[in-house]
Amino acid sequence: MECLIREKRLFGNMKNTLQMPHFLKNRLLLLVFLPLQLAAQNTHWQMKQGDRLYDEKSWSAAEEAYRKAGTGAAAWYNAGNAAYQQGKYEAAAESFKKAAAAATTPEARSAAFFNLGNAYLQQGKYKEAIAAYENSLRQQPNRFDAKKNLQIARKKLKEQQQPPPPPPPQKQPPPPPPPKPQHNYLDRAQQPQKKEIPSGGISPEAARNILSTTVAPDEVKSAREYRQLAPATKPSRVKKDW
């Protein structure tokens, strides 16, 4: 204040100072305040446009409108929300950081830090998310949603820092069964099948066929000789007594 007062005194002691005409002062005021008024009107209009587009779920257009609204905390905050809805979590985080820096109330700063934590959480940046949630709770210690998300971020960070469990050992497949020997079947196929001799009386022709296939070669000769030696007997007729 002393510096300001000293400057006033210096200007007050100056002689022959130029006096600005009254109409020039009015024009100067118009030149200074008119752009500010127009900018304020544009900000208000862009915010209204952004709100309408946000309600219509036109996230990209809403984000653009909020960014055109200016550099106020509300504009940055809403632009971050629109970017978040599009999955643009990095852009959303940048907007929420600017909103937290421009906020003028603890409630606004807490909300900006809370959404900043959510954007970090979606990116897997759990350390940054924890810091953002803690900053949100410093502004509003009784925020239940910030406490809950803080626990989630801490759990995710713990899981991220733990080494993954080793994979379970793979079961060895059982050994294949040994191949079955095939020569037995071949031997059986190659062995001649013996013909069974039917029981009971058979004809001489059938007997010869059986002997030719079943008896040994040395036995065939004796059998042939036996047939030659055996006399051919014919049944005698019965004599009648007259």
pLDDT of amino acid 168? 81
- List the alpha helices (DSSP H) in the chain: 2-13, 22-55, 59-68, 73-85, 89-102, 106-122, 126-139, 144-161, 183-190, 204-214, 217-229
Domain boundaries, the chain: 30-161
pLDDT (tens digit per residue) in 117-170: 999 999 999 999 999 999 999 999 999 999 999 999 999 999 988 877 788 888
What are φ and ψ of residue 194, in 5° steps? Answer: -80, 135
pLDDT for 114 beyond 90: yes
Q: Answer with the residue of higher pLDDT: 25 or 147.
A: 147
pLDDT of amino acid 25? 46
pLDDT for 55 beyond 70: yes
| 30-161 classified as CATH 3.60.10.10 | no
pLDDT of amino acid 190? 53
- The residues, any chain, with a CB within 8 Å of residue 215's CB and separated by 6 or more, are 223
Q: Answer with the residue of higher pLDDT: 124 or 15.
A: 124
pLDDT for 27 beyond 60: no
pLDDT for 94 beyond 80: yes
Q: Which of 159, 141, 84, 87 is nearest to 116 (CA)?
A: 84
d(CA 84, CA 79): 9
Global confidence as pTM: 0.55
Asked if residues 83 and 98 have their Cβ atoms less than 8 Å apart, the reply is no
Model confidence at 238, pLDDT cuts 50, 70, 90, reads very low
pLDDT for 195 beyond 60: no
Q: In angstroms, how far is CA 93 from the centroid of its own chain?
A: 24
DSSP state of 242: -
Q: What is the mean pLDDT of the chain?
A: 73
Q: Residue length, the chain?
A: 242
* Mean local confidence (pLDDT), 201-206: 68
Model confidence at 70, pLDDT cuts 50, 70, 90, reads confident
pLDDT of amino acid 177? 80
3-state secondary structure 166-210: CCCCCCCCCCCCCCCCCHHHHHHHHCCCCCCCCCCCCCHHHHHHH
pLDDT of amino acid 201? 60
Model confidence at 40, pLDDT cuts 50, 70, 90, reads low
pLDDT for 48 beyond 80: yes
Poorest-confidence range of 37-41, 134-138, 205-209?
Answer: 37-41
pLDDT for 235 beyond 70: no
